[in-house]
Structure 1
């Protein structure tokens, strides 16, 4: 019994030591091309796979992103904020794979998107998008990365662009809006 307890204590100690080494860096580093390199899908700092938080400013969209990394891969919650500190996006990653529910908001506070991912990083559930005026842009349904059930998309003014259903991989309904006639330039 003592041997089992000793082995258990050693295993737990090794785990805690390893965990602390991986997460020892609670500082938030500013992204710089001079310090950070992305290679083969991994983020490196000083030639080592980066673990910690990274702050990245986007001068085009005027946002900043705080992303957690573990051994060079995104891992945990990623937050994108506008310069006024309101949340623009919230995403989740597990070992570099998109997981959970990802949400985004326009600068005016209205919702921009909501995506559902399974543990493999594949769409699973509803995928919704909105225009900046609050009008729905699309609602699609997925099961393990494949369209399933009712699928709809709308134009900016609310006109229906697509309205179809997917059953057993087959699409039924209006896939996209096209003119039903050809204009005759001579008679215009």
Structure 2
């Protein structure tokens, strides 16, 4: 037989869940992660699933496969991959309107790569880079109308370099630089003045 159960099972599962193959778009899944996570799917409401700290167990054993959750109308809410009980590969979440909500990459339970989130209207909500579970590089957020809210830069999990924030109306809220752990510029904080001191 040319096709094994894995080849047929994945499309049938997602079509049953109301996701077409064009909506699924598996191009984001690297060969490393596709090979690491077998095509085994369990509903997140299954009582045999449990967590011990950050480790997912199925019937008391570390789980390897995918966990999916559904909205009340049986549309897919989330698909999360696990290897040996730890999150692995791309995790995807959706809104009830079938709009993508989040895409995050995990390797051995740690956040890695570029993480993205969207507002229910489809506009980007956040995008940031992570390495070994720490923010590194840019961290960007947007207001629901698509205007920028924040552009921060990180190095080894700490703010470094230029940091900017905007109010929803587009006015600058903060604009500062962090150099050697010190902040320089407009921080967007209220200055407290004690009126009793001369």
Q: How many matched pairs?
A: 160
Match of 1:114 in 2: 127
Q: Cα offset for 1:58?
A: 6.2
Deviations 1:100-158 (A, max 9, x none): 0001111111110001001x111110000011111111010011111111101111111
Q: 1:68 & 1:96 partners in 2: Cα distance?
A: 10
Q: How does 1:171-182 map to 2 (within 5 A)?
A: 171-178=183-190
Q: Quick one: structure 1 residues 180 and 121, their matched pair in 2 at CA, closer, same or farther if it must change by over 3 Å?
A: closer
Flag as ranges the 4+ runs of structure 1 deviating above 6 A.
Answer: 179-182
Name the counterpart of 1:161: 173
Larger radius of gyration: 1
**3-state SS in 2 of match to 1:99:** strand
Q: Unaligned 5+ residue runs, structure 1? A: 1-19, 183-188
The 1-side partners of 2:189 and 2:173 are apart by 5
Give yes or no for contact 2:137–2:155 (8 Å, CA) kept in 1: yes
- Structure 2: state its 5+ residue gaps: 1-34
User: Over the residues paired in the alignment, what is the CA RMSD in angstroms?
Assistant: 2.5
Match of 2:67 among 51, 54, 57: 54
Using the TM superposition, give the Cα deviation of residue 82 of structure 1 relative to its aligned residue in structure 2, in angstroms. Answer: 2.0
Name whichever of 91-100 and 155-164 sits farther off: 155-164
1:53-132 counterparts in 2 under 5 A? 53-57=66-70, 64-118=77-131, 120-132=132-144
Given that residues 78 and 93 in structure 2 are in contact (C-alpha distance below 8 angstroms), is that contact kept between their aligned partners in structure 1?
Answer: yes
Q: Which moved more, 1:165-174 or 1:49-58?
A: 49-58
- How many angstroms does 1:83 deviate by? 2.7
CA distance in 1, matches of 2:180, 2:105: 30
User: Normalising to structure 2: TM-score of the pair?
Assistant: 0.73
Please, what TM-score do these two structures have when normalized by structure 1?
0.77
